[in-house]
């Protein structure tokens, strides 16, 4: 029996295991929306197409499956761009399906015609323009394979309206392909040689550090990394997106590295004689000044994307391959080892349990962002799914929310997308309805996508929104304080009354201005039957410490000036 291209779209999505999509209808995608009513897929109506890609992104990160977003042509498609770029930078599998004007009108500047494949070429793993109904099924199947194989990423499929309307014989689904892996994973002599050299470097190292990146989570290699770290007693430093790859409470977990990482972690990297870089790309926020980055350390770099090897930092051993597969091969060669002196040295750098002790943060009736995030962590025992926007609150969350499980810290790393937190939390909650979900956002980022509050209402999605409200674009203001002589240009920011805003949407709203109010507010939010918007009025000109200035060495950090209440390392205590 012949089917329209529109029906074939949904049959293919069902075939790929899709149960939820995020989108916004319009003229060029209308045939697909008409066909949707005949297929068992939940559609979440967003309030802006950027929200669709962020929700699909959060859904993908929380579920481990590809997220799906739909939009019409022209402005609908272009509104997806920021979310697509966010997914591309963080290696998140998305399939974005857009409607396009009929094939006969392509190139004529028709109403709502935009060359979305041309626009998204640099920010997608691959994209397609489909003009025939017969090509829809094989293209969508290939799109999912491309999005989820190797280094994951977003794929866009642009389908003309005539292709959706025309009928064709549906193409039978081919047998499932074998798990798509990077070609470099095939057993090879070069892999064996590289692993032998890596084994020798690790055996001879006195001060090794594992650099744990997002690739650990993408590969599912958490147990393999933990086994290696424990067997060879190697401490583990986290990138921002690597958080969760080893429980925060594990004794070998040092915490986050980089521009706003723990000072002792950056010091340890600079003193190391061997860096084991797993699924990370040595970006500028991790390395600081490259010329002075870990100059005395040998480097072992394992990544599924060969283009990342030697790109920023030259490795002594570089292996392109799926991290879990490579580590399991390598573990057969790794002998038990102890590095007690090195662990003791890092303990000296860190200064023991008094460092970053939240109990030592001054209260005096005030409310600091660190108080808020720590108390959320304590209430949830580190087991909630946390999403964030980008800025100071994001760094404080990375520092003070001690993540216990992999895949539960969801944030925009590479692109640094404000407005990500709330829609990503909606997607994560729909992927994991059994889990408690918190969106920790700034007042700036929240206002970018606050329209999605009504999506939460319509879809009956319960998440908790913690707005760290300091009346500024906080991280930009911090840079203005440090590098522009406190000339606060365009960073003071007003906000609506968030409690009234929540009420206007039919949601519960709470305002907290003092630390003493935190416990009761968190209890009310967690016991509420629906979503809650929480307005935390925190200190306005607080600073994220430490901070590596742009162009500075990794261990040349701006430190908390003369604070008797909160130490950054043992040297500060």
Question: Any idea which residues carry the catalytic annotation?
Answer: 49, 111-112, 161, 475
Where in 234-351 does DSSP place strands (E)?
Answer: 236-238, 253-256, 274-278, 298-303, 317-320
Q: Are 88 and 98 in contact (CB under 8 A)?
A: no
Secondary structure class of 149 (helix, strand, coil) = coil
| Contacts of 512-516 spanning 24+ positions with Cβ under 8 A | 512/367, 512/372, 512/536, 512/537, 513/367, 513/537, 514/365, 514/366, 514/367, 515/363, 515/365, 515/366, 515/367, 515/371, 515/375, 516/363, 516/365
Nearest to 238 by CA among 286, 184, 174: 286
Integer angstrom CA distances of residue 391 from 12, 475, 543: 39, 5, 11
Helices (H), 304-420: 323-331, 340-350, 369-380, 392-400
**What angle separates helix 323-331 from helix 189-204, to the nearest 10 degrees?**
60
Q: How far apart are CA 298 and CA 152, in angstroms?
A: 28
**Strand, helix or coil for residue 126:** strand
Q: Which residues make Cβ contacts (< 8 Å) with residue 433, sequence separation at least 6?
A: none
Element (H, E) at 217: helix 214-219
Q: In angstroms, rounded to a whole number, what is the distance separating the alpha carbons of residues 363 and 145?
A: 52
SS3 260: coil
| Rg of the chain on CA atoms, in Å | 24
Axis crossing angle, helix 49-63 with helix 421-431, rounded to the nearest 10:
50
């Amino acid at each position: 029996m012949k089917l329209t291209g529109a029906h074939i779209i949904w049959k293919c999505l069902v075939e790929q295991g899709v149960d939820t999509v995020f989108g916004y209808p319009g003229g060029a995608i209308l045939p697909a929306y008409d066909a949707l009513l005949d297929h068992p897929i939940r559609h979440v109506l967003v309030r802006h197409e950027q929200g669709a890609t962020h929700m699909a992104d959060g859904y993908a990160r929380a579920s481990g499956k590809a997220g799906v977003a739909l939009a019409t042509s022209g402005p609908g498609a272009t509104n997806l761009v920021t979310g697509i770029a966010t997914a591309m930078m963080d290696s998140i599998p998305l399939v974005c399906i857009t409607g396009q004007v009929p094939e006969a009108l392509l190139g004529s500047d028709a109403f709502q015609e935009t060359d979305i494949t041309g626009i998204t070429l640099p920010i997608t793993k691959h994209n397609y323009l489909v003009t025939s109904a017969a090509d829809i099924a094989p293209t969508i199947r290939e799109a999912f394979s491309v999005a989820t194989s190797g280094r994951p990423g977003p794929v866009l499929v642009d389908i003309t309206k005539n292709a959706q309307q025309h009928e064709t014989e549906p193409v039978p689904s081919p047998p499932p392909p074998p798990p798509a892996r990077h070609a470099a994973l095939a057993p090879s002599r070069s892999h064996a040689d590289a692993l032998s050299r890596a084994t020798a470097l690790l055996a001879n190292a006195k001060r090794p550090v594992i650099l744990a990146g997002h690739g650990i989570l993408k590969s599912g290699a958490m147990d393999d990394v933990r086994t290696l770290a424990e067997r060879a007693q190697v401490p583990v430093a986290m990138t921002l997106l690597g958080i969760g790859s080893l429980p925060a409470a594990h004794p070998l977990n040092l915490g986050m590295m980089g521009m706003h990482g723990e000072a002792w972690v950056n010091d340890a990297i600079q003193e190391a004689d061997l860096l084991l870089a797993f699924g990370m790309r040595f970006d500028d926020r991790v390395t600081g000044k490259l010329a002075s980055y870990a100059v005395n350390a040998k480097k072992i770099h394992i990544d599924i994307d060969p283009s990342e090897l030697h790109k920023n930092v030259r490795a002594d051993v570089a292996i392109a391959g799926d991290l879990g597969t490579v580590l399991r091969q390598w573990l057969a060669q790794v002998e038990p080892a102890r590095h007690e002196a090195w662990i003791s040295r890092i303990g000296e750098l860190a200064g023991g349990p008094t460092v970053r002790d939240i109990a030592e943060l001054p209260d005096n009736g005030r409310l600091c962002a660190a108080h808020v995030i720590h108390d959320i962590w304590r209430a949830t025992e580190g087991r909630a799914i946390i999403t964030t926007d980008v800025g100071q609150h994001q760094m404080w969350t990375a520092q003070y929310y001690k993540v216990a499980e992999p895949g539960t810290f969801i944030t925009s790393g590479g692109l640094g997308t404000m407005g990500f937190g709330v829609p990503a939390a909606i997607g994560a909650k729909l992927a994991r309805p059994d889990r408690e979900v918190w969106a920790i956002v700034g007042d700036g980022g929240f206002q970018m996508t606050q329209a999605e509050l009504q999506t939460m209402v319509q879809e009956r999605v319960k998440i908790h929104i913690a707005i760290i409200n300091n009346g500024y674009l906080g991280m930009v203001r911090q840079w203005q304080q440090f590098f522009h002589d406190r000339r606060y240009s365009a960073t003071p920011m007003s906000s609506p009354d968030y409690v009234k805003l929540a009420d206007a949407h039919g949601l519960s709203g709470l305002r907290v201005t003092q630390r003493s109010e935190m416990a009761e507010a968190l209890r009310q939010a967690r016991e509420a039957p629906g979503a809650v918007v929480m307005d935390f009025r925190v200190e306005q000109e607080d600073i994220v410490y430490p901070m590596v200035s742009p162009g500075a060495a990794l261990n040349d950090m701006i430190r908390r000036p003369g604070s008797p209440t909160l130490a950054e390392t043992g040297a500060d205590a």
